[in-house]
Amino acid sequence: MESIGPGTAETIVARASGEGRAGVGVVRISGPLAGPILRRIFHASPHPTRQPRRLLAGQVREPGGEVLDQSLAVFMPGPRSFTGEDVAEIHCHGSPALIREIVKLTCSLGARTARAGEFIHRAFDNGKIDLQRVEAVLALTEARSPLDVRAAARSLGTELSDMIAGLRSALAEQVALLNAIIEFPDEPEVAATRPNLEGLVRTVEGIRARLRRVATQGWRIVVAGRTNVGKSSLVNALAHQRVSIVTDQAGTTRDAVGVDVELEGAIVRLIDTAGVGGGEGSEADRMAQQVSREQIENADLLLWVGDERGGTLDRPPDITDRVLVVQNKADLLDRERRERLEEQLASCGRILVSAKSGYGLSRLESEIKRVMRDEFGPDDGIAASDRVVFGLERVCDALREAVRNLDALPELALSDLATAGEEVDALLGKRQDQDVLAGIFDRFCIGK
C-alpha cells in the first residue's frame, strides 16, 4: 500500500501499552501523518480528527473494509500534545497479534516504527518537557516501591524544575553584579556580594535536602559473617519468607542467594552469602568464600552478622563504609545476659537480634531505613536522578569556591560562578551532552 504522502518530519508509531496479553492495548502515532492515517484506518462518526481531545468509539478497518476491532481513538493536534506534534492513539483490545496488525497497517500508510524513547525525545526536542521531567517520567515507569512511586509523582510537576530555573536566574544576577563591581571601581566593594553568594549556597543545599535519589537498581544489602551465625535465618526473617535453606550444619549456604523485599515502603535486595573467615577446605569452600567476598565488596549496605560466641571474627572486614554489625541468636541468652550484652553492644553501635524469635528485628529494620534515608534522601522527597543529585553537588562546590575567592581573587570568583551556571544549564538540558541524553532516552521502552 502506498503511503499517504511526504511530511516535513517522520511519523512514528508503536505500542504504548505493556507487552503481552491485556484487556486494553494502546497504539500511539506521532507526526504530520497522524491525522491522515487515523482517518484512513479508524472509522467513526463523529471522527476524532473532527472533535480533537475526545476519546470516541469506532472501528479499526483494513483498506478493504474488513473490521479488525471495535476500538476507541483520540486525536490531539500539535502543539498541544505530549510530543508537541499531531498525536493519535487507538485504544484497542489487548491482543498482541491485533496490536501488531494495527502497527503494520499504520506503517503501510507512511509511518515507521518508533525507536525506544523516541516519543518523549520528541517532546523534549519540542520544548514540551525539560530534562529533569524526562527523568521523572523514567523514574515513575521504573518505580519499584510505593515510596518511589510517590517521589516520582512529585517530580513530575514543575517544582524541581522551577527551583533549578530560579537558581539559574539568581546566578545570572550575581554574575552581572560581580562583573560590574570588577569593571567599575566606583561600584560597591566585592565583599558586598558575599551575603548573596552565601545565600545561593544555602539555596542549593535546601534543594538537595528536598531530593530523594532514585535507585535505578535494587539497593543491595549483603548479609555476611562467619559460618553458622544465622545469616540465612536472618535473611528469611527480614524477607518474611523462606529464601535460604537453614540447618544446624555449618556451610549449608554455598552460593549467594538474593531476594527483593519491601522494607517500610522501599524495595531492597537482600543477599545471603556463604560464611567467611573460616578454613578453606575444599575447592567448593574456596569458591564460596570468594563469591562472598565479591558480594561484600559490591554491597550498598553490609549486615555483618555474629552470634553469642562473639570473638574477633565478628569484626566486619574493612571493605565498605556502610556497615551494620548485628549480633544474632539473642534467644540463646537468659534475660540478664541479654540485657547486659545489649547495653554493651549499643555502646559501640551494634544491634542484638534473634532471627528465630524476632527479637530486635524492628530496630534493625529502622537502622536499615535510616542508612537508606541518609543515602537517598527523605521519604517525602522529590525523585531525582544521580545526574541531578551530583550536578547540584558540583553547583554547590563551585559556589563555595566563589565565596572563598571573592575577596582576594574576584575574577576567579566570577569564573567559579560561570562554572556553577554551566552546571545548572546542564541540569535543565540547555547545555546538551549527547552521550548523557542518549543514556537517558535509551532507557525508555518503545512506545514511550
Residues 225, 371 share a domain: yes
Q: What is the structure's pLDDT at 374? A: 78
Question: Does some domain include residue 6?
Answer: no
What CATH number does residue 247 fall under?
A: 3.40.50.300
Contact call for residues 42 and 25 (beta carbons, < 8 A) = no
Q: What is the structure's pLDDT at 247? A: 46
Residues 282, 340 share a domain: yes
pLDDT tens for the chain, 448 residues: list them: 444 544 448 999 999 988 888 899 999 999 999 999 999 999 999 999 999 999 999 999 998 889 999 999 999 999 999 999 999 999 999 999 999 999 999 999 999 999 988 999 999 999 898 888 888 888 888 777 777 788 888 888 778 888 888 999 999 998 888 888 888 766 567 777 889 999 999 999 998 888 877 665 567 888 888 888 888 888 888 887 776 555 444 444 555 677 888 776 677 888 888 877 665 567 777 777 778 788 888 888 898 888 766 544 456 666 556 888 888 888 888 888 888 887 777 777 788 888 888 888 888 888 888 888 777 777 777 888 888 888 999 999 999 999 999 888 888 999 999 999 999 988 887 776 676 677 677 777 766 6
Question: Does some domain include residue 87?
Answer: yes
Question: Does some domain include residue 197?
Answer: yes
Contact call for residues 156 and 133 (beta carbons, < 8 A) = yes
Q: Which of 125, 153, 188 is the last residue of a domain?
A: 125
Q: What is the structure's pLDDT at 102? A: 96
What CATH number does residue 111 fall under?
A: 3.30.1360.120
SS3 408: coil
Q: What is the structure's pLDDT at 254? A: 53
Question: Does some domain include residue 103?
Answer: yes
> CA–CA separation, 357 vs 360, rounded Å?
9
Residues 371, 224 share a domain: yes
Q: What is the structure's pLDDT at 2? A: 46
| Grid cell digits, residue 405 | 575567592
Cα distances from 28 to residues 15, 55, 185, in angstroms, run: 6, 13, 61
Question: Does some domain include residue 364?
Answer: yes
Cα distances from 302 to residues 32, 252, 324, in angstroms, run: 54, 20, 6
Contact call for residues 257 and 242 (beta carbons, < 8 A) = no
User: Alpha carbon 443 to chain centroid distance?
Assistant: 11
| Burial per residue of 261-287, b for 16 or more beta-carbon CB atoms within 10 angstroms, e otherwise | bebeebbbbbbbbbbbbeeeeeeebee
Residues 236, 186 share a domain: no
Q: What is the structure's pLDDT at 399? A: 94
Question: Does some domain include residue 229?
Answer: yes
> CA–CA separation, 111 vs 107, rounded Å?
4
Range of the domain at 362: 219-375
Contact call for residues 56 and 47 (beta carbons, < 8 A) = yes
Q: What is the structure's pLDDT at 311? A: 45
| Burial per residue of 95-128, b for 16 or more beta-carbon CB atoms within 10 angstroms, e otherwise | eeebbebbbebbbbbbbeebebbbbbbbbbeeeb
Residues 235, 308 share a domain: yes
Q: Which of 106, 125, 144 is the last residue of a domain?
A: 125
Contact call for residues 366 and 266 (beta carbons, < 8 A) = no
Q: What is the structure's pLDDT at 255? A: 58
Residues 227, 177 share a domain: no
Place of cell 560590574: 180
Q: How many domains does the chain have?
A: 3
According to DSSP, the β-strands at 112-113 and 211-213 are: unpaired
Residues 368, 224 share a domain: yes
Residues 292, 255 share a domain: yes
Residues 393, 370 share a domain: no
CB atoms inside a 10 Å sphere around CB 335: 7
Q: What is the structure's pLDDT at 225? A: 85
Q: What is the structure's pLDDT at 193? A: 83
> CA–CA separation, 135 vs 158, rounded Å?
13
Residues 364, 223 share a domain: yes
Question: Does some domain include residue 288?
Answer: yes
Q: What is the DSSP letter of 445?
A: P
Question: Does some domain include residue 196?
Answer: yes
Q: What is the structure's pLDDT at 157? A: 79
Main-chain phi, psi angles of 108, to 5 degrees: -70, -15
What CATH number does residue 192 fall under?
A: 1.20.120.430
| Grid cell digits, residue 346 | 549499643
| Burial per residue of 189-226, b for 16 or more beta-carbon CB atoms within 10 angstroms, e otherwise | ebeebeeebeebbebbeebbebbbbbbeebbbbbbbbb
Residues 224, 365 share a domain: yes
Residues 107, 139 share a domain: no
> CA–CA separation, 117 vs 108, rounded Å?
22
- Amino acid (one-letter) located at 184: F
**Residues listed for the chain:** 448
Q: What is the structure's pLDDT at 323? A: 87
Q: Which of 107, 125, 143 is the last residue of a domain?
A: 125
Q: What is the structure's pLDDT at 153? A: 85
